Amino acid sequence: MGALRFFLIAGEPSGDRLGAAVMAGLRALAPGVEFAGVGGPLMQAEGLQSLFPMEELSIMGLVEVLPKYFPLKRRIAQTAEAALAAQPAALITIDSPDFCLRVAGIVKAARPDLRTIHYVAPSVWAWRPGRAAKMAKVIDHVLALLPFEPPYMTAAGMTCDFVGHPVVAEALATPAEAAMMQGEGPLVLTLPGSRRGEVARLVPVIGATLARVKAVHPQARVVLPTVRGVEGLVRELSTDWPIPAEIITDPARKRAAFAAADVALAASGTVSLELAANGCPMVIAYDMHPLTLWLMRRAALIDTVTLVNLVSDSRAVPEFIGEKCRADLIAPALLDLLAHPGAQDQAMRLTMERLGKGGEPPGLRAARSVLSVLGDGQRARPAGSGS
């Protein structure tokens, strides 16, 4: 019998990190395992020869799908053909559902017996619950990042394991590294996002908020970690901030800033989990086009967008979304956290515990889950789930 082989697909840097971790886990648990598929530099470092550059899929975001429609269709067909030709033990698709689930659909139609595994459950607990039932037509098993997701997946007809969130395994700054960021006044961490649209909307609001913080804390300092894609825009828009920001892109310096900051003002997203991992109190702010906001609120099933609030089952983190994304509302929340720095400690600690901190690394847990699906052979899908 030949070596165990998996075909993996990742379309974005976050998926590349997840893919590399599960590949490392599979190599540890099943020596001699082989890989094929599509992935980025981290997955390639684990032994994957990518079918084509993963960046082609990263570029093809929702905004760009229409002009890239035919190239995308060709890549879907090419990837599905390669997956079938590889005759893997399982197809593992990682996030990027617009691409991955289309490939899985073609593969499943041709090989109904081939196990299909999707890493990162769709956020059906937040909006569009019907997505899970649609996914169940082509996916057998789901690897979930959040502890409350498995029941939603099993209700739709798939098996699902919570494997932990990668944030619990990410390296944190050492006390010595964090100490390098210390100074006279409180350190305010500002995180306006990684997309140009969100940066353009949030940076001016942050600037106005900092003016109010400075009135109370004249010696306050500001650090702004960003990514190269929006660094120029961030520098341009923050030049008139009342407290000059230290703009950083170096990963080690970013880790030090997260560890040393007294408080953070951040865009909505998984960054709230990174802040919780570092024990940094936070306020979440986000703005978007009014029509987009209206549509999202009509579809929303939850009353908070912050993952720390959701995972800890609390509302410890204040959030200012849409019309509430205003300096006169945000600044008092920031100042209150500076005055009461331990207010969110319990929610942040509980979040990390529930995401798997202290247990096996998520990549290894994900690998165990993958192998359990194969080991069970026909691991029972919930009743009424179809094939």
Which domains are present in the chain?
Answer: 5-164+357-375 (3.40.50.2000), 175-354 (3.40.50.2000)
Q: Residues 200, 322, 145, CA angle at the centre, nearest 5°? A: 85
Whether the per-residue pLDDT at 63 is higher than 70: the answer is no
Share of the chain residues as helix, strand and coil, in percent rounded to the nearest 5:
50, 15, 35
**With contact defined as beta carbons under 8 Å apart, do 267 and 192 qualify?**
yes
This prediction's pTM: 0.82
> Mean pLDDT in the chain?
89
Whether the per-residue pLDDT at 60 is higher than 70: the answer is no
Q: Which of 83-97, 156-170, 251-265, 373-387 has the lowest mean pLDDT?
A: 373-387
Q: How far apart are CA 32 and CA 40, in angstroms?
A: 21
* DSSP at 186: P
Residues ≥6 apart with Cβ < 8 Å to 213? 188, 220, 243, 331, 334, 335, 338
| Band of pLDDT at residue 47, cut at 50, 70 and 90 | very high
The tokens for 376 are: 């069970």
pLDDT at res. 304: 74
- The three-state secondary structure class of 245 is strand
